[in-house]
Structures are given as structure tokens and as C-alpha cells.
């Protein structure tokens, strides 16, 4: 700092005081403007406000003492004003922090990539399954689950696939070893669909029932781009008095709109499943072309998505063995089921079903 | 199945809609046309059709024509069955049904003076040439072509025997033990006493409803023919076919239920074709029927149907009129049912012989809905007043998933199966591994007893593809049990390999290690409420550590006294066997046990306003003293003012000697109600030094 020492004051009239204080204020402002860095600010504080060597202390001890009594008041006022200015400058300097020049020295390359922690991804099957289940829980469905190893009774017989029935041929089954000597209905197998949980649920509770059943199922199928011996289904069951085919249509139409967007249309075709009657296949208008026809929908404008139907009275008869309230003359119900892989493949543009089960980090990482 | 519209239209002279529209209308009624191929001018289209297994009656041209007639209300042309008058026979050809449970009807017609030749056109419009050419069906000989034509036309299997090879007459019976039959495929078969056969008085001639016999087949030398058209019981045919590993057109039809009344029609059609090249009929048609089976098929009792029941099941329609009595009557009559009024808006419905799939009122309701059109029903939502119950472990499961995802692990789903050797390596109870009876492959021979085999396969898959940083987890079911009972338990596995996730060009990274994985284990377990939680390991000779784990770099996890899982480094032996050079860290948790612990419920406590004081203690310990002892000693102090202690650093220094290591212990002192005074701090520090000293540590000078 190059401020000169405080001069001795020789005149104490107003004009002389004005002149002397104005000079000091100029010096203070000039010094403050040049401050850079916290050390300089501290030096400025000591220079001007230091208790022993501070310049204001100097002014006070020399000018005030030397002033004639009639000028003391006027000088005191000017002194206080100057002190306020200096304190203000100091506050401003402290608040402003380091100068831009000082900060420039700390520059870094902000274009280098950020340090990222990995976020794990939800499996696309889990994700799709949860989306489907959420649509139905919002409609009042509870979630039901059941074992992956089932008896022949629950997987087939009570679902109205009698022993030896040709409909069993449509579901090639993986069986547990060593079953040949057991009664047919007790034989253990890998469930081929989530439908056994329908019966397990009805055996546990009288109507009304509304459940949605997500789960893993297995079939003795060769693996190709769209088929896998392991896959997932979401099944639904609604039983009450006065449940109708039009309720089934309305429920699934709502669900498909909730899953694929409100502009999606549904249409129903007669089909055959042993455990429902009437049975239907449901198509939705192609979500890729909006129904105009494209490669994805084989130019039909429609995509087949799920199977459904009214619960067959024969199924209720099995349930009524444990819960007599399942009297098909008094209650009715519908059931539906859909393949999760197929929906996930469609939603996320996946072309190989095998990718779901390979645990490839590069594939899974896309679903974060 | 291939269907010609040209052939269909021959049965439907009034049909005016074009082939595209026809395909659409059939499909919407469950007779699915999957593909339409234009066959050129005058030839109509070829439909590629997918008929559901219950509609075996519609797996032929006439059956589909019948559906078309019902849809559009047009007339269905009957078959022309006119035959030349038969010559009298010396005696009625003997036919006997011995297996009355399995054969419901057997018709036999004797043709004499037959010439077996290239089939020729016996109908006025050259159907066989035209239809077979359009269907790319090869012509073989008049006898084979005749049965094929009738099969394609009406779906009734028929068979032609060389009559001169038949001794005595026909008996439909069960095979005798040890009987042999060479079938048309040239295979000599030993028959099972359960097999149903068409035999003569000396020997079996054919597997009934499945395949004809070699010795009685038609040859160019054949002069006399016996035409068989019969009805066999589905299960009998199915069992016979299965036993011999055969699936033929005939068995397919009979297994699913043939038309009891079709036999005479089919017999006439086959005979007409064979007689086109000359010959004559000897005697009247022999038609033997079993009344009990006729009563179950063609002469079934009528079914009661009420309009109210139709409406109760089907609900609202988009038309204001909805389903009326006229709708029901119109649809069912067109399908061949006969409706007799039983009460107001109720009927007694006699069923057509070709629709064995219709047995109950609900089946009729389905027919009404189907022909009326599914898409003419309204979309309604049922009212619901019940509550929704959540799965008991849903929250625990999502807490685990959430924690692992936030720790950077991707969720994976692996195969449910593994090899027997992987099962032996990883099963908690090796005696209870469950093998499959018909596995997909040897590598998938058993139900997985652990998630580790699948996890290792997936990790290896990544490493072998040069994806070196792996973080995967799987939540799935593991299996144990016997042929009588299989237990399923939920399990969680996760694996890590490669570098720590936080990678930056500015800071060096390092390989993930045991303690990184242990941190994830701890993160997971702190989601649950535990009274005690510790990790331990066993000497290898104890045989308790799972064989897939490195015996000195693994730990058991014990929560509230129960083993909830294991984790650590993959055993180097297993890594080498799988050609894995990288260090792989694995954990498996037994969720059935973990789920017995409630999820931790967060509770806030007062945060002290007073200054905490941190003191570090540099300790020297013998190698045999693990951190756990120091930790336990500090916990035993039970001083509320010691609010935190942790290892800040562990280091080994040559100056300390080989047996010792050094540990920097950080302890934080704080009181909830006051600022700690110097004397208090001195006292606490002395207690800490004393406690760790007794645990085997000394202060580094």
C-alpha cells in the first residue's frame, strides 16, 4: 500500500477539513478497488482500521487532539463518516471474495466426463410385469403367486384338461423325474402357465375374487428368436355375481389403453382354451403404425396380445369342492393371460427373446 | 391347414362375398384364416387356416362351408351320394364289434371287379385334378386318392382293404398279447393288449383309427375292395397312437371326436370314386352300431338352454336390442341344432352329430356369442366393493431390489435349470437336488438348488465377451426335495467383478474386493430390523463353507442367530474350471429366512446440539487379533458419550515386524445435554485405551 502517512493538519476551518477528509476517502476507495485475495483484504483492514497502527487511529490521535475545541465536533462528525465509508469498503471487499483474475487460475476442464456411479437397471421383464400388474391393482385386483413346480392336478386337470385330453398336446411339459409310479394327478411338473394359481386362490377364498398373477412358467419348447422354454405370464381372474363377457371386454380394453396409450383399439376373436368358455384371443391395433399396417404387424394393422374368456363351469366345479360358493349357476367370472416377454419385446424393440436370460451387462444397462 | 375357396364355393352356390371378406368374417368367428394366396383367375384363393383343437369338425372343406352357411344364412349343398344299385350278396359280409367301449360304428362295403389305376375324374367338373393340383396334393392311385379326397372334403378317415387278403370277416377288438402287425409305414409292430385293432378272423389288419396294415393294403393287383368307414372312441385311438409313436390324419381326427353319422356318407363317396373305373357293389352297406356310444354322440340327449342364462353370461351388447330369442334360434339352427321350445325363452336343444365339442349349456352360449360376433358386445367395467391385499413379502422384495440397483447392480433372470455337477457344487442340501424327467439338455438336467450356477454362467458370459465390469443380481426361486415333494424358496444372488464403479479420468480406480461386496451385504441387511448381525467363517476342514467359495475369503452371514447367506470370492479352483481369470465376488442370501425379519422402520432421535470431539488412536495389534475384538471391546464399554467409532486405516509396516499390524481407530465423543469438559474427555480416552488394550492392542508410541 502506498498511502502517504497522515499529514499534520494546520487549519481546522470547514474547507480545510473537507479537503483533508476527501483526500483520505479517495485514498481508501482507490486502495479498496485494487484488493485481490483474502490476504490483501486483511492488509487493507489492518492499514485502515488497525487498533494501533491503523490510519484512522492516526487521524483520531493526531487530528482530533490537535483540533481547537470549537472544531472538535465538526471534525468528529467527518471522522465518523470516513470510518463508515472505510468499513463499508471492507465489507464489500470481503463479500466480493476473490477477484476474477484469482479465480481464472483455478480453471478446470469442464468437458471431461463426470464421475458416475452406476445405477442398476430394473430387468425389462420385471419392469413390464410391474407395469401390467399396476394397471390391474388400480382396478382393485390383489396380487397372487403360486409355486413353479405344480401337480398335474393344478396345472391341467382342474383347469379342465382331463388326463389324455388332446389339449394337453398344446403345452409341452417339463416333468420332474421319477413320477411314473405316482397317481396322474399327483405327478410333479413345471407349470406351463400361471393358471393353477386361479384354482389355488379360489380354494382359499370364496367369491368375490379379483387377482392378478405374475409368474415364471416353463415349457419343453425349443429356443428360437421368439420362443423360450422359460417365460413369464401375467394371469388375471375376476369372479363375482353378474360378471359378464362384456365386463371382460371392457376390462381388457381399459387395460390395453392403460398399457399402450388411449388411442389403442382392441378386438376379440373366438378362440379355445379348456378353462374358459366362451374363449377369446385379443388383438390391439398396431402400436407402431396405428393400425395402418406395417412390417411389425405383418401389414394387418393388428397385433395379437392375449387370451381370455369366461371361466368354464367345469373349473368352478373343481373350486366348489373346497368352496361351495363357486356355484356356476350363481356366480360367473372371467380370466385372462398374457405373455410378458412378447409385450416387453414389443415395447422395447427387442428382437431376441434369449437376451432376457443372458445377463449381458450391455443389454441390461439400456434399461436404467 | 389348406383350404380352397373354389372347393368351398362348390358347396355354397349362393355365396356372393369375395374371398377377402369371407376370410375376415371367418376369422372373426374363430375359424382363423392366417394367410390368403391368390391362385389366379378362376381358381379362387388358398386359405392357410389355423383351427383350434376343439373345432375338429371344421378342419375340412365341408366343415368350413357349414360355418360359412351359418354366418351368411346361405344354403349348404348336400353331398351327391347316389351309387349304382348293388348286386345281391350270397351272405352279408360279417362284421362284429367286440370292443364295444372303443368302436361305436363300423360300416363295410364290398366292391368287386375294381381296377386300381391312376385316379381319374369321376365327377363332372374334374374336381380331383383341379383341387389336388391347387393344393399341391400328389395323386398316387385311385384307392389312395379316393380316401384322401374324402378326408379333405369332409374330414372323415376311411380305409380300403384288399378284400382277398381278409379271412372270414371283420372283428374290431383289442390286440392279443404278442400279436404282430406290419403297418403301412413298413414297420413291424408288436401290439399291446390295450391296442385297438381292426382284425379278420385270423389276424389283425390295421391299428384302428390310426394306420392300415401292410399285408391288406391295396395294390395294382387288387380286384376286390372292402371300404371301411367307422367311428372310434377318442381315448382308445389316442392311447394306441401314442403307444406306437404315431400321429396320423386319422388318429388326429378320431382323438378329437369324429362325426358318428359321417361313416355312411364317406363310404359312399369313396365307393363312387373307386367305381368310376368300373366294378360293382356287392350287397348292401354293412352298418354295425353300438347303441351306448351312439347315445353319447349322434343321439345325445337334448340340452336345456335359457335366454336368461345367455344374457347372464354374455352381458351388454352395442345394439340396443341385445341378444334376443330370435338371435339364439337363428344362430343355433344355422349350426345344425334343433330347437324345441321348453318354456318362455327357453329351449331343448338337440345337438348336431359333428359337434362333439358341444356338450353343455355354456357351449351353446359360446356358439351364440361366436356367431353373433364378439365385437358386437359392449365394453363394460364390473363394479367392485372389495379390498386389495398386498403380498406379504412385496415390500421386503422391493427394498432388496432398490438397494441393489442403487448400489449399481443390474437385475438379471437366469435359467431355472442347471447341470447336475453345478447343483452338487452349490446345493445347500446336496441330497435333495431335483432332476427333471425330460430335461431340455444335460446342462439343464436339474432344478437349480441355488442361484449361484446361473449367476456364474451370466458373469462368465460377460467376461468372455470382454465386458469386464460386472454387477448383476437375481431374485428367484431355488428348489429342493424329492420325487414326492419339491420345496421352493426365494433366494437372492449377486455378483461383482472388475473395477469399482466410480471411474474417472482424474482419479485412479481399483478392482472391487471382498470388502466392497461386504459393504453391499451390509447395506442390504440394514434394510431389516436385526438384534444381532455378524459375519464369521470356518476352518476348511469343518466342511461348512459352501464349496464354491474361497475358504479364507468368504463369510457366513448370521442375523438374529440364523444363517441368512454366504458371500465372498469364487473359489479359485472353480474360477479356473470356468476359465475365469478375474476375481469374482458372489453372495447368496436365503430370502425365506431373511423375510422372517421385519423391515427396519425409520425412527428419528434427537440430534445433539453440543460439539462432538474426534480422537484418533494409533494402535498396534498382533495379526491374530481381528477388528471384531476391538469393536466388541468398545461396544462393551456401553458409554453413551462414545457416539461413533470406526477403523480409519489399516496398514502393515516392516518396522512393526511380521507379526504385527497397525490400525488407526477414530472415536467420536459427544453428549446430548452438555459440552464435554476436558477432564471427562481424558477419562473416556483412558477407558478406550484400557478397553482396546485388554482386547490385545497397544498404543503406537
Q: pLDDT of B508-546, one tens digit each?
A: 888 999 999 999 999 999 999 999 999 999 998 898 999
Domain shared by B366 and B474, yes or no = no
Out of A176, A208, A253, whose CB is closest to B386? A208
B window 11-70, beta carbon within 8 A of A: 27-30, 32, 52-55
Residues on chain A touching B477 (C-beta within 8 angstroms): 148, 216
Q: pLDDT of B417-426, one tens digit each?
A: 999 999 999 9
Task: Say what the pLDDT of residue B120 is.
Answer: 61
Q: Does residue B32 carry a pLDDT above 70?
A: yes
Of the candidates A185, A179, A181, A182, the one whose C-alpha atom is nearest the C-alpha of residue A155 is: A185
A-B C-beta contacts closer than 8 Å: 257
Measured in angstroms, the CA of B429 and the nearest CA of chain A are apart by 18
Domain shared by B180 and B231, yes or no = yes
Task: Give the least confident one: A169-178, B19-28, B446-455.
Answer: A169-178
Of the candidates B69, B50, B57, B55, the one whose C-alpha atom is nearest the C-alpha of residue B10 is: B69
Angle at CA A130, nearest 5°, toward A124 and A134?
150
Task: Say what the pLDDT of residue B121 is.
Answer: 57
Task: Say what the pLDDT of residue A2 is.
Answer: 47
Task: Say what the pLDDT of residue B142 is.
Answer: 85
Instruction: Mention every residue, 6+ apart, whose C-beta is less than 8 A from residue B174.
Output: B98, B99, B102, B193, B194, B195, B196, B197
**pLDDT tens-digit profile, chain A (368 residues):** 445 677 888 888 888 888 888 888 898 888 888 877 778 888 888 888 888 878 888 888 888 888 888 888 888 888 888 888 888 888 888 876 677 777 888 888 889 888 888 899 999 999 999 999 999 999 999 999 999 999 999 999 999 998 877 777 767 899 999 999 999 999 999 999 999 999 999 999 999 999 999 999 999 988 899 899 999 999 999 999 999 999 999 999 999 999 999 999 999 999 999 999 999 999 999 999 988 889 888 888 999 999 999 999 999 999 999 999 999 999 999 999 999 999 999 999 999 999 999 999 999 999 99
Domain shared by B360 and B481, yes or no = no
Residues on chain A touching B459 (C-beta within 8 angstroms): 359
Q: Do B438 and A174 touch (CB under 8 A)?
A: yes
Task: Say what the pLDDT of residue B99 is.
Answer: 96
The C-alpha atoms of residue B513 and residue A141 are separated, in whole angstroms, by: 45
Backbone angles phi, psi at B597, to 5 degrees: -85, 135
Choose the mutation target among A118, A137, A183, A362 for the interface with B, i.e. most B CBs under 10 Å: A118
Domain hosting B53: range is: 2-72
Is B86 within a domain?
no
Residues on chain B touching A164 (C-beta within 8 angstroms): 235, 238-239
What are the helix (H) ranges across A97-121? 100-104
Choose the mutation target among A111, A120, A252 for the interface with B, i.e. most B CBs under 10 Å: A120
For chain B, what is the domain count? 5
Measured in angstroms, the CA of A143 and the nearest CA of chain B are apart by 6
Average pLDDT, integer, range B299-321: 95
Backbone angles phi, psi at A278, to 5 degrees: -65, 155
DSSP symbol at A169: G
Residue of B nearest to A222 (CA): B440
Instruction: Mention every residue, 6+ apart, whose C-beta is less than 8 A from residue A254.
Output: A139, B379, B381
Choose the mutation target among B313, B479, B586 for the interface with A, i.e. most A CBs under 10 Å: B313
Out of B29, B471, B488, whose CB is closest to A148? B488
Residue B39 burial (C-beta neighbours within 10 Å; 0-12, 13-18, 19+):
middle
Average pLDDT, integer, range B59-78: 94
What are the helix (H) ranges across B415-539? 420-426, 452-464, 514-525
Residue of B nearest to A176 (CA): B436
Q: β-pairing, A209-218 with A142-143?
A: parallel
Measured in angstroms, the CA of A62 and the nearest CA of chain B are apart by 47
The C-alpha atoms of residue B157 and residue B310 are separated, in whole angstroms, by: 36
Q: β-pairing, B170-174 with B95-97?
A: parallel
Q: Do A268 and B365 touch (CB under 8 A)?
A: no
Is B382 within a domain?
no
B366 touching chain A per CB within 8 A: yes
Residues on chain A touching B59 (C-beta within 8 angstroms): none
Is B600 within a domain?
no
Between the alpha carbon of residue B605 and those of residues B192, B269, B602, B608, the distances in Å are 80, 93, 10, 9
Out of B380, B436, B474, whose CB is closest to A177? B436
Q: Do B472 and A166 touch (CB under 8 A)?
A: no
Residues on chain B touching A190 (C-beta within 8 angstroms): 416, 436
Residues on chain B touching A277 (C-beta within 8 angstroms): 362-363, 365-366
Residue of A nearest to B363 (CA): A277
What are the helix (H) ranges across B550-648? 572-577, 591-594, 627-637
Instruction: Work out the pLDDT band at B276, boundaries 50, 70, 90.
Output: confident
Is B87 within a domain?
no
Out of A177, A229, A253, whose CB is closest to B379? A253
B502 touching chain A per CB within 8 A: yes
Measured in angstroms, the CA of B30 and the nearest CA of chain A are apart by 4
**Within 10 A of B25 (CB to CB), how many other CB atoms are there?**
17
> Where does residue A173 fall: left (phi above 0), alpha (psi -120 to 50 degrees), or beta otherwise?
beta
Domain shared by B544 and B627, yes or no = no
Q: Do B379 and A145 touch (CB under 8 A)?
A: no
Q: Do A170 and B458 touch (CB under 8 A)?
A: no
Measured in angstroms, the CA of B495 and the nearest CA of chain A are apart by 11
Q: Do B411 and A112 touch (CB under 8 A)?
A: no
Q: Does residue B124 carry a pLDDT above 60?
A: no
Domain shared by B238 and B346, yes or no = no
Domain shared by B158 and B176, yes or no = yes
Mean residue pLDDT of chain B comes to: 93
B415 touching chain A per CB within 8 A: yes
Out of B315, B370, B461, whose CB is closest to A247? B315
Q: Do A358 and B461 touch (CB under 8 A)?
A: yes
Of the candidates A349, A247, A342, the one whose C-alpha atom is nearest the C-alpha of residue A303 is: A342
Measured in angstroms, the CA of B54 and the nearest CA of chain A are apart by 7
Q: Does residue B676 carry a pLDDT above 90?
A: yes
Task: Say what the pLDDT of residue B119 is.
Answer: 63
Out of B30, B238, B477, whose CB is closest to A270? B30
Sequence length of chain A is 368
Q: Do B370 and A270 touch (CB under 8 A)?
A: yes
Choose the mutation target among B363, B385, B413 for the interface with A, i.e. most A CBs under 10 Å: B413
Instruction: Work out the pLDDT band at B187, boundaries 50, 70, 90.
Output: very high
Domain shared by B506 and B523, yes or no = yes
Task: Say what the pLDDT of residue A1 is.
Answer: 43
Q: Do A360 and B467 touch (CB under 8 A)?
A: yes
Out of A149, A216, A249, whose CB is closest to B377? A249
Domain shared by B432 and B324, yes or no = no
Q: Does residue B125 carry a pLDDT above 60?
A: no
Is B29 within a domain?
yes
Domain shared by B510 and B587, yes or no = yes
Domain shared by B156 and B258, yes or no = yes
Domain shared by B410 and B339, yes or no = no
Choose the mutation target among B374, B408, B414, B494 for the interface with A, i.e. most A CBs under 10 Å: B374
Domain shared by B101 and B227, yes or no = yes
Task: Choose the final residue of a domain: B249, B281, B296.
Answer: B296
Residue of A nearest to B462 (CA): A360
> Where does residue A219 fall: left (phi above 0), alpha (psi -120 to 50 degrees), or beta otherwise?
beta
DSSP symbol at B224: -
Q: What is the CATH number of the domain that holds B674?
A: 3.30.70.380
Q: pLDDT of B547-580, one tens digit each?
A: 999 999 999 999 999 999 999 999 999 999 999 9
Task: Choose the final residue of a domain: B296, B313, B338.
Answer: B296
Is B605 within a domain?
no
Check if the beta carbon of residue A298 is closer than 8 Å to that of residue A138. Answer: no
Task: Give the least confident one: A96-105, B103-112, B279-288.
Answer: A96-105
Is B421 within a domain?
yes
Is B89 within a domain?
no
Q: What is the CATH number of the domain that holds B238?
A: 3.50.40.10
Task: Choose the final residue of a domain: B296, B327, B348.
Answer: B296
Q: pLDDT of B230-242, one tens digit each?
A: 999 999 999 999 9
Check if the beta carbon of residue B336 is closer than 8 Å to that of residue B352. Answer: yes
Within its chain, how far is the Cα of B1 from the centroid?
24
Amino acid at each position: 500500500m502506498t498511502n502517504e502517512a497522515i499529514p499534520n493538519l494546520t487549519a481546522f476551518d470547514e474547507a480545510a477539513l473537507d479537503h483533508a477528509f476527501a483526500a483520505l476517502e479517495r485514498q481508501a476507495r482507490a486502495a479498496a478497488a485494487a484488493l485481490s485475495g483474502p490476504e490483501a483484504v486483511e492488509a487493507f483492514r489492518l492499514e485502515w482500521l488497525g487498533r494501533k497502527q491503523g490510519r484512522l487511529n492516526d487521524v483520531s490521535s493526531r487530528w482530533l487532539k490537535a483540533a481547537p475545541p470549537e472544531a472538535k465536533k465538526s471534525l468528529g462528525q467527518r471522522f465518523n463518516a470516513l470510518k463508515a465509508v472505510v468499513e463499508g469498503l471492507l465489507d464489500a471487499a470481503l463479500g466480493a471474495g476473490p477477484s476474477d483474475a484469482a479465480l481464472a487460475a483455478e480453471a478446470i476442464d469442464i468437458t471431461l466426463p463426470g464421475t458416475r456411479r452406476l445405477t442398476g437397471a430394473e430387468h425389462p421383464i420385471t419392469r413390464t410385469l410391474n407395469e401390467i400388474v399396476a394397471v390391474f391393482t388400480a382396478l382393485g385386483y390383489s396380487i397372487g403367486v403360486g409355486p413353479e413346480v405344480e401337480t398335474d392336478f393344478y396345472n391341467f386337470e382342474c383347469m379342465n384338461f382331463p388326463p389324455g385330453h388332446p389339449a394337453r398336446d398344446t403345452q409341452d411339459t417339463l416333468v420332474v423325474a421319477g413320477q411314473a409310479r405316482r397317481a396322474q394327478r399327483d405327478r410333479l411338473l413345471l407349470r406351463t402357465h400361471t393358471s393353477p394359481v386361479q384354482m389355488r386362490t379360489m380354494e382359499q377364498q370364496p367369491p368375490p375374487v379379483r387377482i392378478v398373477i405374475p409368474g415364471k412358467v416353463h415349457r419343453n419348447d425349443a429356443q428360437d428368436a421368439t420362443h423360450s422354454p422359460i417365460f413369464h405370464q401375467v394371469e388375471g381372474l375376476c369372479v363375482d355375481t353378474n360378471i359378464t363377457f362384456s365386463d371382460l371386454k371392457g376390462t381388457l380394453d381399459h387395460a390395453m389403453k392403460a398399457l399402450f396409450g388411449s388411442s389403442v383399439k382392441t378386438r376379440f376373436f373366438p378362440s379355445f382354451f379348456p378353462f374358459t368358455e366362451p374363449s377369446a384371443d385379443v388383438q390391439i391395433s398396431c402400436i407402431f403404425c396405428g393400425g395402418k399396417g406395417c412390417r411389425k404387424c405383418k401389414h394387418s394393422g393388428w397385433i395379437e396380445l392375449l387370451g381370455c374368456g369366461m371361466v368354464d363351469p367345469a373349473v368352478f366345479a373343481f373350486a366348489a369342492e373346497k368352496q361351495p360358493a363357486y356355484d356356476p349357476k350363481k356366480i360367473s367370472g372371467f380370466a385372462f393371460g398374457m405373455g410378458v416377454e412378447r409385450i416387453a419385446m414389443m415395447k422395447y424393440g427387442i428382437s431376441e427373446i434369449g437376451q432376457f436370460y443372458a445377463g449381458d451387462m450391455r443389454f441390461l444397462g439400456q434399461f436404467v | 391347414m389348406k383350404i380352397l375357396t373354389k372347393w368351398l364355393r362348390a358347396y355354397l352356390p349362393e355365396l356372393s362375398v369375395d374371398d377377402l371378406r369371407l376370410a375376415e368374417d371367418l376369422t372373426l368367428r374363430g375359424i382363423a384364416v392366417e394367410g390368403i394366396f391368390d391362385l389366379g383367375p378362376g381358381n379362387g384363393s388358398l386359405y392357410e387356416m389355423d383351427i383350434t383343437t376343439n373345432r375338429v369338425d371344421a378342419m375340412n372343406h365341408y366343415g368350413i362351408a357349414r360355418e360359412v352357411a351359418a354366418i351368411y344364412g346361405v344354403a349348404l349343398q348336400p353331398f351327391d351320394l347316389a351309387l349304382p344299385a348293388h348286386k345281391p350278396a350270397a351272405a352279408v359280409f360279417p362284421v362284429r364289434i367286440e370292443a364295444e367301449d372303443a368302436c361305436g360304428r363300423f360300416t363295410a362295403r364290398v366292391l368287386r371287379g375294381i381296377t386300381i389305376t391312376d385316379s381319374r375324374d369321376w365327377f363332372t367338373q374334374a374336381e380331383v385334378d383341379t383341387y389336388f393340383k391347387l393344393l399341391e396334393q400328389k395323386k398316387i392311385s385311385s384307392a389312395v386318392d379316393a380316401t384322401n379326397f374324402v378326408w379333405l372334403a369332409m374330414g372323415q378317415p376311411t380305409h380300403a382293404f384288399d378284400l382277398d387278403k381278409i379271412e372270414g370277416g371283420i372283428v374290431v377288438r383289442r390286440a392279443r398279447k404278442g400279436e404282430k402287425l406290419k403297418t403301412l409305414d413298413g414297420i413291424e409292430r408288436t401290439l399291446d393288449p390295450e391296442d385297438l385293432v381292426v382284425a379278420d378272423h385270423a389276424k389283425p389288419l390295421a391299428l384302428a383309427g390310426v394306420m392300415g396294415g401292410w399285408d391288406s393294403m391295396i395294390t395294382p393287383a387288387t380286384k376286390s375292395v372292402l371300404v371301411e368307414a367307422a367311428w372310434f372312441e377318442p381315448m382308445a385311438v389316442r392311447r394306441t397312437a401314442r403307444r406306437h409313436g404315431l400321429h396320423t390324419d386319422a388318429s388326429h381326427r378320431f382323438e378329437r371326436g369324429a362325426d358318428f353319422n359321417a361313416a355312411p356318407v364317406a363310404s359312399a363317396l369313396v365307393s363312387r370314386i373307386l367305381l368310376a373305373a368300373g366294378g360293382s357293389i356287392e350287397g348292401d352297406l354293412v352298418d354295425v352300431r353300438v347303441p351306448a356310444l351312439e347315445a353319447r354322440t349322434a343321439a345325445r340327449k337334448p340340452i336345456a338352454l335359457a335366454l336368461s342364462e345367455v344374457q347372464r353370461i354374455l352381458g351388454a351388447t352395442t345394439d340396443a336390442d341385445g341378444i334376443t330369442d330370435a338371435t339364439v334360434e337363428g344362430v343355433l339352427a344355422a349350426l345344425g341344432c334343433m330347437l324345441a321350445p321348453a318354456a318362455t325363452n327357453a329351449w331343448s336343444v338337440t345337438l348336431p352329430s359333428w359337434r362333439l365339442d358341444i356338450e353343455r349349456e355354456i357351449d351353446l352360449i359360446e356358439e351364440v356369442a361366436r356367431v353373433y360376433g364378439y365385437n358386437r358386445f359392449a365394453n363394460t367395467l364390473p363394479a367392485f366393493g372389495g379390498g386389495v391385499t398386498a403380498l406379504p413379502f412385496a415390500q421386503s422384495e422391493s427394498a432388496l431390489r432398490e438397494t441393489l440397483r442403487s448400489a449399481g447392480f443390474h437385475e438379471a433372470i437366469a435359467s431355472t435349470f442347471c447341470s447336475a455337477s453345478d447343483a452338487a457344487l452349490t446345493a445347500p442340501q446336496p441330497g435333495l437336488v431335483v432332476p427333471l424327467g425330460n430335461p431340455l439338455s444335460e446342462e439343464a438336467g436339474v432344478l437349480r438348488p441355488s442361484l449361484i450356477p446361473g449367476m456364474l454362467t451370466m458373469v462368465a458370459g460377460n467376461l468372455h465377451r470382454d465386458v469386464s465390469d460386472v454387477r448383476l443380481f437375481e431374485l428367484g426361486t431355488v428348489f429342493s426335495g424329492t420325487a414326492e415333494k419339491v420345496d421352493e424358496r426365494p433366494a437372492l444372488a449377486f455378483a461383482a467383478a472388475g473395477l469399482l464403479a466410480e471411474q474417472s479420468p482424474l482419479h485412479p480406480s481399483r478392482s472391487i474386493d471382498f470388502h466392497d461386496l461386504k459393504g453391499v451385504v451390509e447395506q442390504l441387511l440394514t434394510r431389516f430390523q436385526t438384534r444381532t448381525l455378524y459375519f464369521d467363517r470356518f476352518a476348511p476342514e469343518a466342511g461348512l463353507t459352501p464349496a464354491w467359495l474361497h475358504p479364507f475369503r468368504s463369510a457366513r452371514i448370521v442375523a438374529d442367530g440364523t444363517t441368512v447367506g454366504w458371500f465372498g470370492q469364487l473359489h479359485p479352483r472353480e474360477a479356473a474350471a470356468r476359465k475365469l481369470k478375474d476375481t469374482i465376488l458372489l453372495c447368496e442370501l436365503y430370502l425365506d429366512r431373511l423375510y422372517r425379519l421385519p423391515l427396519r422402520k425409520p425412527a428419528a432421535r434427537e440430534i445433539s446440539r453440543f460439539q462432538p470431539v474426534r480422537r484418533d488412536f494409533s494402535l498396534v495389534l498382533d495379526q491374530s487379533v481381528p477388528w471384531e475384538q476391538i469393536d466388541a471391546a468398545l461396544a462393551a464399554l456401553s458409554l453413551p458419550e462414545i457416539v461413533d467409532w470406526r477403523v480409519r486405516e489399516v496398514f502393515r509396516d516392516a518396522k512393526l515386524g511380521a507379526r504385527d499390524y497397525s490400525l488407526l481407530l477414530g472415536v467420536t465423543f459427544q453428549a446430548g445435554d452438555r459440552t464435554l469438559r476436558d477432564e471427562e474427555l481424558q477419562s473416556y480416552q483412558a477407558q478406550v485405551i484400557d478397553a482396546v488394550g485388554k482386547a490385545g492392542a497397544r498404543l503406537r508410541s
